[in-house]
Amino acid sequence: MKLSRYYIPTLKEAPSEAEVVSHKLLIRAGMIRKLTSGIYNYLPLGLRSINKVADIVRREMDRAGALEVLMPSVQPADLWKETGRWDYYGKELLRFNDRHGRDYCLGPTHEEVITDLVRGEVRSYKQLPLNLYQVQTKFRDEIRPRFGLMRGREFIMKDAYSFDRDDAGAEKSYRAMFEAYKKAFARIGLRFKPVQADSGAIGGDFSHEFMVLAETGEDTIASCTACDYAANLEKAKVVASGDVCDAACPELEEVDTPNRHTVEEVCEFLGIAASALIKTLLFVVDGEPVAALVRGDREVNDAKLRNLLGGNEIDMADEATVRDLTGAPVGFAGPHGLRKGVRIVADSELQCATDWVAGGNKADTHVRHLSLSRDCEVEQYVDLRVITETDPCPECGAAIEFTKGIEVGHVFKLGAKYSEKMGATFLDENGKDQVLVMGCYGIGISRIVASAIEQNYDENGCIFPPSIAPFEVCLISLGGKDEAVNEKALELYEAIQDMDVDICYDDRKERPGVKFADADLIGYPMQLVLGGKGLKNGIVEAKDRKTGERIELPLDGFAEAFAKWRESIWQAWGLK
């Protein structure tokens, strides 16, 4: 591609609305432009990168035996009503009506559509397993879109859905996808990590997120410094020491804590550490009141609580409910003396000690010398809290560290959640109806381009892995009016194209500085520079964008020298 005929509107300054590096650079490099909040145009360069990512993903999906389809982005409400998600999904689902007033939505995901498609076609176990995928534009009406392509409302996603006859088959499909994802992300050239994620009601180790490691990531990963355990914060298990304290505890007594609502205020007032206090959080889980107890310096993990109680919806109790349950304003809830019928669950850690301070369920009052076993009716002690960096690895006991990541992929075993509700069944060998066992697997294609930049950039711009760069190589001619140089550059350009390498040739009538700056900004991993001096000395300069290292390639025998250099660049990226 000759850049004199290309469209690359680069900018020296980024629009003020761009916050994160990938957003700024994608705009400055002329790869995207915003149309409206969370919705972007992909310009030629940006689209090239996206297509490269999608192609790699496609190839790995195909290798894993998945078949590409394309489903509509507009979906009828009827399907969503079948699974109950029309009501459950909330405002993130963009709904609208057609001219007849019928309800439709823009697809944020395609479980309903694919299940509908399959239930109409798959009749026999002989047709299984089946894995269908698509690369498609999704729409989720995010409350707060931000960070450019990182969290847009409209985005490009690869989503795959597997159908198996039983759990064993579904597990196999799951593993195949897991492996395909690892290969795809490795081929793209990302530093990533699969981490365990919360799988909700399905349970087991059947949900993994693939995280690109980057400081600007929105998610926190708890990973082991010794073994390969890694999980997101929702999922990360906290292992209890198992100690049960049976030390004697003095009589329970009330203490006045006027106007002290928060853990911090109470601890300061009573002169105790937060770890000596029990924090009592009231939730409403599927309409039922529950008190969750953790140490004052810990956080309750909502996902763990929801999974424990098998609930769907979990909310913090509102002020009126708190008054009703405790007989006190917010800030004085405790496990002792709650209204009857409130279930009490406690974090395992609370068994390791006694003689606690807790809320008194009375205005401006706390209690001390509280013994959970003596004074309260705790239903069970379980892992309820969010892991911290001082907790040990649940697998091997070594130290845990927190890192930031960007979620770019998710594999999830769905089980019969959709197939059952939508009646997607097949006949087994015995002629009996069986429900299909499903899995779903997503990759955020457009988000990957952003995360690749988050992971690789410097003060001059993007640094793309060669696998997904808009162009692998940029050839810059510094010939100006020197036709001998331009002719030679054109010759090199043709030669490289003959090698089937993805190259662009900057033949624009620009000063050298402009071409260099644009090339660095866009982040082609390889730059070739041919100038008058070089031509005279029989060399072309080759620059590695990542390291900044420059070497000279001979014009005589250029093809071989270039091929070798190119290979070394790919290798340095850990690719090919």
CA dist 155 to 38, 137, 445, Å?
Answer: 9, 6, 8
Cβ-contact 522, 45 below 8 angstroms: yes
Q: Which CB sits closer to RNA, 115 or 354?
A: 115
Place of tokens 């490269």: 52
Query: Up-side HSE of residue 250: CA atoms within 13 Å toward CB?
Result: 7
Among 12, 100, 340, 432, binds RNA (CB under 7 A): 12
Q: What is the closest distance, in whole angstroms, from the C-beta atom of residue 548 to RNA in the complex?
A: 8
Residues 403-442 that bind RNA (CB under 7 A): 410, 412, 440, 442
d(CA 231, CA 218): 14
Q: Pick one of 4, 37, 127, 275: the residue that binds RNA (CB under 7 A).
A: 37
Binding segment toward RNA, per CB under 7 A, in 28-36, 239-247, 323-331, 369-377: 28-36
Of residues 299 and 395, the one with the C-beta less far from RNA: 299
516 lies in the site for RNA, by CB under 7 A? yes
Selected from 102, 126, 511, 564, the binder of RNA by CB under 7 A is 511
Query: What is the number of alpha carbons within 13 Å of residue 523 lying toward its C-beta?
Result: 33
Please tell me the distance from the alpha carbon of residue 252 to that of residue 266, in angstroms, as a whole number. Answer: 17
Of 246 and 549, which CB lies nearer to RNA in the complex structure?
549
Q: Which is nearer to RNA, 368 or 543 (CB)?
A: 543
Is residue 147 a contact residue for RNA (CB under 7 A)? Answer: yes
Give yes or no for residue 126 binding RNA (CB under 7 A): no
Strands 343-347 and 288-295 come out as parallel
User: How far apart are alpha carbons 63 and 57 in whole angstroms?
Assistant: 10
User: Between residue 338 and residue 397, which ones bind RNA under the rule CB under 7 A?
Assistant: none
When asked if residue 508 is in the footprint of RNA (CB under 7 A), the reply is: no
- The rounded distance, in Å, linking the Cα atoms of 446 and 425 is 34
Nearer to RNA, 276 or 555 (CB): 555
Residue 531 near RNA by CB under 7 A: yes
How far is residue 78 from each of residues 194, 408, 419, 497, measured CA to CA in Å?
35, 30, 15, 51
547 binds RNA (CB under 7 A): no
State the Cα–Cα distance between residues 572 and 57, nearest whole angstrom: 22
Binding mask 440-479 for RNA (x = CB under 7 A): x-x-----------------x-----------------x-
Angle between helices 558-572 and 483-498 (to 10 degrees): 60
**What are the structure tokens assigned to 340, written together?**
């009857």
Instruction: Name the pairing type of β-strands 365-370 and 154-164.
Output: unpaired
Among 113-121, 261-269, 531-539, 562-570, which window interacts with RNA (CB under 7 A)? 531-539
- Helix, strand or coil for residue 345? strand
Select the residue interacting with RNA from 2, 4, 15, 397 (CB under 7 A). 15
Report the largest interatomic distance among the alpha carbons of the chain, rounded to a whole angstrom.
97
User: Rounded to whole angstroms, how far apart are CA atoms 484 and 63?
Assistant: 47
Q: How far is the CB of 176 from RNA (least distance, A)?
A: 17
First and final C-alpha spacing in the chain? 24
Region near RNA per CB under 7 A, out of 29-37, 70-78, 181-189, 254-262:
29-37
Asked if 28 is part of the footprint of RNA (rule: CB under 7 A), the reply reads: yes
Q: Which is nearer to RNA, 350 or 443 (CB)?
A: 443
One residue of 4, 11, 491, 499 binding RNA per CB under 7 A = 11
Query: Interface with RNA by CB under 7 A: which range of 35-43, 188-196, 238-246, 287-295?
Result: 35-43
CB of residue 160 vs RNA: minimum separation in angstroms? 11
Q: Which is nearer to RNA, 28 or 336 (CB)?
A: 28
C-beta of residue 290 within 8 angstroms of C-beta of residue 283: yes
Question: Is residue 472 a contact partner of residue 45, using CB atoms and an 8 Å limit?
Answer: no
564 makes contact with RNA (CB under 7 A): no
Beta pairing, strands 130-139 & 67-68: parallel
Q: Bridge partners of 2?
A: 505
Those residues with Cβ within 8 angstroms of residue 397's Cβ, 6 or more apart along the chain or in another chain: none
Asked if 521 is part of the footprint of RNA (rule: CB under 7 A), the reply reads yes
Please choose, out of 223-231, 245-253, 361-369, 517-525, the segment that lies near RNA by the rule CB under 7 A: 517-525
User: For RNA, which residue of 101, 341, 513, 557 counts as binding (CB under 7 A)?
Assistant: 513
- Take residue 230 and report the two structure tokens written for it: 């890694």
- Among positions 247, 459, 481, 500, the unique one binding RNA when judged by CB under 7 A: 481
By CB under 7 A, name the binding residues for RNA.
10-17, 19, 28, 34, 36-38, 89-90, 92, 109, 143-147, 207, 209, 316, 410, 412, 440, 442, 460, 478, 480-481, 511-514, 516-521, 529-534, 541, 543
